[in-house]
Amino acid sequence: MTLQTLQTIIIDDDSIVTFLQSKIVSKTGLDKVPVIFKDPLEAIDFLKENLTKDPGHYLIMLDINMPAMTGWEFLDRLKEIPNNEHCHVVMVTSSIDRKDKRNAANDPHVIDFIEKPVSAKHCNKLKGVSTLSPFFEEN
């Protein structure tokens, strides 16, 4: 049996954050080559195109506070895309607002809420989350 693939998408307007997150995601084996978007609208277009023609699975590491579109607005747009249930979102934020944590807990796409910076420990923990573990189990 072959494992399904899980493509990691990092969405953050800060290039230092995306650089560091991509290195950690790669080093921990979460994804060797994560896709990075500084503009959440470009990520929406990417997902629309890819989920429509070939609904693969995506782990989306999503910043909440971005100038073009908030993470919450991104989630609303994601819900309009066919096959969006193939997207598993980790909210990555510097926010300590309890409202953000509550909103994340109530969204069916959100599987985790991580305060920046993302660490190797966080990435390794994600491999054990029930919705993601099938992508990392080995026979």
15-69 residue pLDDT tens: 999 999 999 999 999 999 999 999 999 999 999 999 988 778 999 999 999 998 9
Q: Which H or E run includes 115?
A: strand 110-115
Sequence ranges of the domains in the chain? 7-133
130-139 residue pLDDT tens: 999 999 876 4
Phi and psi dihedrals of 92, rounded to 5?
A: -120, 120
Asked if the bond preceding 55 is cis, omega within 30° of 0, the reply is no
Kindly indicate whether the domain formed by 7-133 is annotated with CATH number 3.40.50.2300.
yes
